Amino acid sequence: MGKREVSEINAGSMADIAFLLLIFFLVTTTMDTDKGLIRKLPEIPPADQPPPPKIKQRNILEILVNANDQLLVGGEYMQVTELRERAKVFIRSEVGNPVMPEYKETEIPGLGVVEVSKQIISLQNDNGTSYEMYIKVQNELVAAYNELRNEFAQQKFNKPFTELAQKAGSSDAAKEKWRAVKAFYPQRISEAEPKKVGGPE
């Protein structure tokens, strides 16, 4: 028996195997990151907490959505497309107008003492409201705040709010400005408590 030459392994099919694996990972991979509207729920108040102080009617914009997805904003029937403008007018408020929200002198770092509108938006929906409508309303309200903040940041710091928000992570100066804009137009969206809370299970 002579020495047999060890034949080379044929690597021609290597590419095929690799392709197969590649296709498997291509199919199973999910690149999409989740996107959405980020909100915070209020904490459950402790049982012994005194009831919150009454808020003046003029400081509240009441938004009701019924089971037919119709909107009632501050007593007026409205389309969802009109909501953004209405909310902006309300949040901005107006000096000397008795039906618009009051102002409160507040000290904001970076801005000094300024007049901040005491606005609160109260949202109440029916159990039959569609989720699509609910998101639309939420979206319009967030958009109203964002637009106002953008305008204000542009006028005060010559930069849009979105840019400040991006830079807030890296620069302290931008962070202070970002905080100041947020404090000037605080996002106060309150969702009315549904009746089931605290009731029998």
Partner 1 sequence: MGKFRKKGSRSLPAVNTASLPDIVFMLLFFFMVTTVMRETSLKVENTTPKATEVSKLEKKSLVAYIYIGKPIKALQGAFGSAPRIQLNDAFKTIDDIPLFVEMEKDDRDEKERNKITWSLKVDVKTKMGIVTEVKQALRQVNALKLNYSANKTEVMTN
User: Site residues (CB under 8 A) for partner 1?
Assistant: 11, 14-15, 18-19, 21-22, 25-26, 28-31, 33-44, 79-81, 125-132, 134-136, 138-140, 142-143, 146, 194, 196-197
Which one-letter DSSP state was computed for residue 89?
H
Q: Which residue, 72 or 108, is less far from partner 1 as judged by CB?
A: 72
CB of 3 to partner 1, least distance (A): 28
Token pair, residue 84, equals: 């953004």
Rounded Cα distance between 110 and 30, Å, is: 43
Q: Which residue, 58 or 179, is less far from partner 1 as judged by CB?
A: 179
Identify the three-state secondary structure at position 134: helix
Rounded Cα distance between 90 and 188, Å, is: 12
Give the DSSP H or E segment for 108: strand 103-108
Q: Which residue, 36 or 98, is less far from partner 1 as judged by CB?
A: 36
Q: Which residue, 32 or 48, is less far from partner 1 as judged by CB?
A: 32
CB of 70 to partner 1, least distance (A): 12
Q: Which residue, 80 or 108, is less far from partner 1 as judged by CB?
A: 80
Rounded Cα distance between 29 and 25, Å, is: 6
CB of 139 to partner 1, least distance (A): 4
CB of 11 to partner 1, least distance (A): 7
CB of 119 to partner 1, least distance (A): 18
Rounded Cα distance between 177 and 167, Å, is: 10
Q: Distances from the Cα of 178 to the Cαs of 70, 97, 134, 170, 189, in angstroms?
A: 35, 29, 28, 12, 19
Token pair, residue 44, equals: 């459950």
Token pair, residue 169, equals: 């992570």
